[in-house]
Amino acid sequence: MPVYIAMLRGINVGPHKRMKMEKLRASCEALGCQQVKTYIQSGNVVLQAAKLSASSLAERMQKGIVADFGFSSDVILRTREELQKIVTRNPLLKEPGIDPSKLHVVFLSETPAPSAVKKLEALTLAPDRVRVSGKEIYFHFPNGVSGSSLWKHDLDRVLSVTGTMRNWRTVCVLDHMASESA
């Protein structure tokens, strides 16, 4: 069975949209997913599922979340192979002065329009760095996310695409978990 990585958006970050990871795992298992594992409390799930398109599985998970938790959450999915490429092809790791602990990846639901990418690049001010590659955006925020030039900008509005951000450590852990599940 293929291995997928699901990243839920906007859960457990404030007083709303709270979910326990045990219940999230059970929700995924009720959909027929197997070997369901979660990482930290921010909605990172590694699982095996029947071969489906990522959009079909994400839609099923989103419906399951509404049914089981009573609220909606966008689910961004990547296959194990896609995540491996995201990790190995991070363009910022090849640049000088990059601190991996300050790297982040935004996983998008679809590829943004070239005009939206240009707008994002114009909003990203030094010392921050951005590289867009398909449905991923790689960021280096040397002063942290809250100290970044993009802190006050809604990336969904800038790009007209839904996304969810993970720090580099989380991305690498999810990649390792997915490789172990294969």
For residue 144, the model assigns a pLDDT of: 96
For residue 70, the model assigns a pLDDT of: 94
Contact between 101 and 25 under an 8 Å Cβ cutoff? The reply is no
Give yes or no for a cis peptide into 127 (omega within 30° of 0).
Answer: yes
For residue 52, the model assigns a pLDDT of: 81
Domain that residue 106 falls in? 85-167
Residue at token pair 């699982």: 47
CA 87 to chain centre: 12
Q: Which residues of the chain have pLDDT under 50?
A: none
**Cα–Cα distance measured from residue 165 to residue 12, given in angstroms and rounded to the nearest whole number:** 14
Q: Is residue 14 part of a domain?
A: yes
For residue 152, the model assigns a pLDDT of: 94
Burial per residue of 72-87, b for 16 or more beta-carbon CB atoms within 10 angstroms, e otherwise: ebbbbbbbbebbeebb
Q: Is residue 180 part of a domain?
A: no
Are residues 42 and 28 part of one domain? yes
Are residues 106 and 163 part of one domain? yes
Are residues 90 and 74 part of one domain? no
- Domain containing residue 26: CATH number: 3.30.70.1280
For residue 129, the model assigns a pLDDT of: 98
Q: Position 112: which residue type?
A: P
Q: Is residue 65 part of a domain?
A: yes
Contact between 157 and 130 under an 8 Å Cβ cutoff? The reply is no
